[in-house]
Chain A
Amino acid sequence: MAEIRVQEAPFDLGAEVNRFEAGLAGAGAVVSFAGLVRDEGGTLEAMEIEHYPGMTERAIAGIAAEAERRWALAGCLVIHRHGRLAPGERIMMVATAAPHRADAFQAAEFLMDYLKSRAPFWKKESGAERTAWVSARDDDEAALDRW
């Protein structure tokens, strides 16, 4: 059963991975990924992340459940923030655990590909010059085809 958290507050990646590892049984591999706010060459002042409370948790739970069906996972953790974030701040993380590394790597990539375009989050970037919603990329959608 995956652990899913959608929160405004920052999180400590190291502490989360340590806690995740401590709760595992039968795992020989842990993969973790963190997504950060890019500074876009110093032009970005803030990133605002909006989400759809209720649907967000359901959508992530559905994606994680699918990952658990496809791969032999010993654990799965997803944390995704919303609200106003500064460049360099952590936006989100996933961690997967499995008896062997291939399953953990693949499940982590699968989670990331689906979180990008199937979890209801929207990013808005603001800088000195302009403020704009981030557009979805065609290759993010295409990335789903490989699964």
Chain B
Amino acid sequence: MIDVLYFAWVRERIGIPKERVETGAATVAELVEELRGREERYALALADLSALRVAVDQELAEFDAPLAGAREVAFFPPMTGG
């Protein structure tokens, strides 16, 4: 089980901020594939990886990052702080 979090327009398009996901995905990219296959709202929100950033256990990561041992994955658009 892994906690999956969504922020900003990713959260709005999927419609929830957080969920627990039962997954066998080995990498972030595999998790994205699983989520896209669920429902259209996921497919739409996660359609373009170049528009998304990902954090694994609250550290920025690449989409080929492994998920072994990860507790939390978050998807969000490029950040706009400051």
Contacts and interface: CB of A to CB of B under 8 A. Distances in A.
Contact of B79 (A35, A91, A136): A136
Given A50-B7, A112-B82, A115-B82, A120 B55 contact: yes
Contact of A116 (B9, B58, B82): B82
B8 A124 contact: yes
Given A50-B8, A80-B81, A118 B76 contact: no
B58 A121 contact: no
* Residue with the highest number of chain A CB atoms closer than 10 Å, among B55, B58, B76, B80: B80
A122 B80 contact: yes
Interface in B41-79: 55, 58-60, 74, 76-79
Given A115-B81, A119-B82, 5 more contacts: A50-B8, A50-B11, A58-B59, A119-B81, A136-B77
Interface of A: 35, 50, 52, 54-55, 58-59, 80, 91-92, 112, 115-124, 133-136, 141
7 contacts: A50-B8, A52-B55, A116-B82, A120-B55, A120-B79, A120-B81, A122-B76
